[in-house]
Amino acid sequence: MLSISSINYSVGKKQILYDVSANFLPGTFNMIMGQNGSGKSSFLKIFSGEINSYSGTVLYNNLPLQSYKKGELAKFRAVMSQQPELSFPLTVEEVVMMGRYPHFDFQPTQNDKKICNEVMSRMQLNNFKERNYLTLSGGEKQRVQYARVLSQIWESKNHFRYLFLDEPLNNLDIAYQQEFLEIATELKTGETILVAVMHDINLAAQFGDQLFFMKDGIMAASGKPSTILSENLVEQIFGVKTTLIKNPVSELPLVVFNKNH
């Protein structure tokens, strides 16, 4: 379990997060949503270990986040940030192998190579292996970065796996958005905690087991899509009027945005 309690966070005199708490359980896909500036990404950066200047508690499997050394944490916790970028020419295969860096000292083992090949195959990147990463399109780079973080936690011994995705669908077309979330869902076993910051409320409702809504630095609401989503909640969080209908395929809530709002 990932347990986060009473997080307060400020930048200078501006407070970003106010007493934010959440529990993310193994085997669930957790979606965090809210308007720009609501504190979503700051919250993720705190519980992933990127930001340290906060008050409150973050527990990985009942142990404080601070009790883990960065190298140790990286063996079972992977983060895909909003705009992962490289400025030097590496092949796609080399970028994916970067995800295995926490697992070896000098040279990758045969197991590291095997994992990277498995991930590239699953992400349909085999034809890109020798391509210069810098020559890829934005969507292609996004897929490679996803493969990199997947390779990092593809197998985790004696630990839960933690995969954190910060607005992961940028630059992806509709088909790859679906594939991206389906691959994440495949990891959703009893040993994996999945958390994603999302913008698309309908994708979040279809793929998410638990939805967490943030507004103005507080955790405004959380729950299962089928029970928490309402027209009033969407208007409260996003300031837009909507109509909720039932998705005819999944029977989950589908948000329809009203015209002229």
What is the β-pairing status of strands 14-24 and 2-11?
antiparallel
Angle, CA 218 vertex, CA 217 and CA 219 arms, to 5°: 135
CA–CA separation, 63 and 174 (whole Å): 39
Output the DSSP codes for 109-147.
-HHHHHHHHHHHHHTT-GGGTTSBGGGS-HHHHHHHHHH
Residue boundaries of the structural domains of the chain? 1-76+159-229, 85-155
Phi and psi angles of residue 113, each rounded to the nearest 5 degrees, phi first:
-65, -40
Q: What is the model's pLDDT at position 46?
A: 97
- Residues near 91 by beta carbon (within 8 Å), at least 6 away in sequence: 129, 130, 131, 132, 133
Cβ contact 237:258 at 8 Å: no
pLDDT confidence of residue 86 = 77
Q: Which CATH number fits domain 1-76+159-229: 3.40.50.720, 3.40.50.300, 2.40.110.10, 3.30.70.890?
A: 3.40.50.300
**Buried b or exposed e, range 198-218, using 16+ CB within 10 angstroms:** bebbbbbbbbbebbbbbbebe
Q: What is the DSSP string of 201-254?
A: HHHHHHH-SEEEEEETTEEEEEE-HHHH--HHHHHHHHS--EEEEE-TTT-SEE
Strand partners, 60: 2, 63
How wide is the angle at C-alpha 178 spanned by C-alphas 176 and 183, nearest 5°? 90
Query: What is the C-alpha separation between 133 and 93, in angstroms, rounded?
Result: 9
Task: Give every residue of the chain whose pLDDT is below 50, as ranges.
Answer: none
Angle between helices 110-122 and 138-153 (to 10 degrees): 140
Q: How many residues does the chain have?
A: 261
Tokens 């669908």 sit on residue? 169
Secondary structure element (H or E) that encloses residue 57, with its range:
strand 55-60
* Cβ(59)–Cβ(3) below 8 Å: yes
